[in-house]
Every structure is written in C-alpha cells, then in structure tokens.
Amino acid sequence: MSSKSKAPATSVNTISTPYETSALRKGLRSFLNQPVENPAAPGVKRLGAYKYGVYAFYDYDDEPIYVGQTREQLSSRIGRHLTNQRTDAVAMNVLDPYEVYAIAVWPVPEFQNRKTSDPEVKTYMDDLEAAVFEKLLKESKFGAVLNEKVPVSDRKVKLPECVKSIIVDDKVRELRGHPDIRLARRAVTISRLAQVISEREVQPGLRRTLLIQAERLRWLAEQRYKPFETEAQKDDKEAGGEE
C-alpha cells in the first residue's frame, strides 16, 4: 500500500470567488454594460459610461435604501459601492452592499462633455439628487432612506428617464433574500454602526441612519413572526393552562 495519502474526492477551490460574489458582479456588469443611445451623448454606447447621473439602491423588499450622485462615471461610482473598493457609506456601515437587490439610475447625457468644475453642472446634479431622494422618500414604507446626509434643494427639476434593474439572479436571491439571513445581517450592520457612533464624534445624520436601520429591522422581524403568531399564542395558552 502506498504511503501517500489520497486526495479528497472533492477539493475546495481556493482561487475563484464565492458564487454569490461572482454572480453579483456579473449582474452588475450586465446592468452597466447594457447598450444606450442618446443624441446628447453620441459617443456613449453603454449605460455605465455616462459621466453624470444619480443612482439608487433597493433591497429585497424593493425598498429604497441609498441615493447618490456621480460626476465621474456611473460604472466607477456604483462599482466602488458594491465591490471591494470602499466608500464612506460602506465604511461607516450606512450601506450594506449585501442588501442591494436592484439599482436605478437617472443619467444626464447632456452634460457628458462638461467639466465637473462647471457651476451649472454641480448645481443641477445637486438638485437632481435631491429630487430623486424626495421621490424615493414618498415610495418608502418607512418614509426614509439610509443616507447620512440628506440632499436638499428648493429648486425643482424634472427627472430624466430612469433605468432600473435587478442585479442578482434567482439563486442569489434565494441565498441572500431569506428573511432570517437578512435579519441576522441587518442586526450585525446595526451593531457595527452603533459602535462607530460610540467611538467617534458624529453628526446627527448618522444617528438618524441608526434609527432607520432599527425600524427596518423591527419591521422585518414582525413580518417574519406573523406566520408563527397564532401557533405561538396557542403555545402560550397551553403553557398557562398547565400552570
């Protein structure tokens, strides 16, 4: 008999990324690489190549959770949020990329060749971000979005055409979308956010984000409990009778 040990029947792949990670990146690439055509920006052939725009992330309940703007490129800005490249929102535990199920973008093709230092561009982008934020507040069942800093503007702008799509496949939705998994993940996020707040001198906006996260956690816990409520009440009555 050979002294050499036999290799296990199934070896662990230590090179490739986990399925959830690779599938999310694939979905993100598919979303950002979808073809576009707009006379205002004839050189732009894919959605993510638009330099200016506002974007929003949605969770597995189609609840808006974060709004931002970019003056660099949609693919660069959104990619930094959802991949390994850190952003302030992710680093501060305001946004958990794990919760992102869908993305919406409002591109601004007419500014494609304008400089980011252009005052008109900056003013419009700030106004557009505020308008999108206000729209999503009305759509949210909590009347809230997780942004630490709330974009505000007195100037009203017409929203450009929106492109929205789910970026995870059915398998990832099954893995990440289960309410128990989401409850555990959200509780960890709240804990980390609370720790950040306890260790730093933070603005009130971050405390508001903590409150919103707590409300979202409670709501999800209530939804998860409802199917078991009748059974739990029955058990309580039986326990009371035994006493």
Mean pLDDT within 111-125:
96
Of the candidates 21, 51, 49, 22, which has an alpha carbon nearest to the alpha carbon of residue 34?
49
The answer to whether residue 8 is domain-embedded is no
Domain assignment present for residue 183? The answer is yes
pLDDT of the residue at 233: 65
Q: Which residue has the tokens 């986990």?
A: 18
Residue 88's pLDDT is what?
A: 84
For residue 113, tell me if it sits in a domain. Answer: yes
Helix, strand or coil, per DSSP, at residue 61: coil
Q: Determine the pLDDT at residue 173.
A: 94
Is the residue at 10 inside a domain? no
pLDDT at 236 over 80: no
- HSE-up of residue 182 (Cα within 13 Å, Cβ side): 26
Rounded Cα gap, residues 129 and 110, in angstroms: 16
Asked if residue 3 has pLDDT above 80, the reply is: no
Residue 1 placed within a domain: no
The full DSSP string for 135-176 is HHHHH-TTS----SS----SS-------EEEE-S-HHHHHHH
User: What pLDDT shows up at residue 16?
Assistant: 76
Over residues 154-171, the pLDDT tens digits come to 999 999 999 999 999 999
- Does the residue 73 lie in any domain? yes
Q: How far apart are CA 172 and CA 164, in angstroms?
A: 18
Q: How far apart are CA 86 and CA 92, in angstroms?
A: 10
Considering the domain boundaries, does residue 11 fall inside one?
no
Residue 97 in any domain: the answer is: yes
- CA 152 – CA 175 distance, rounded (Å): 37
Distance CA 119, CA 132 (A): 20
Question: Which residue stretches of the chain are H helix?
Answer: 19-32, 74-82, 88-91, 119-139, 170-176, 179-199, 204-242
Taking all residues of the chain, what is their mean pLDDT, rounded to a whole number? 90
Nearest to 146 by CA among 39, 30, 67: 67
Q: Which domain holds residue 206?
A: 19-242
Tally the domains of the chain.
Answer: 1
User: Closest Cα to residue 66, out of 159, 153, 145, 167?
Assistant: 145
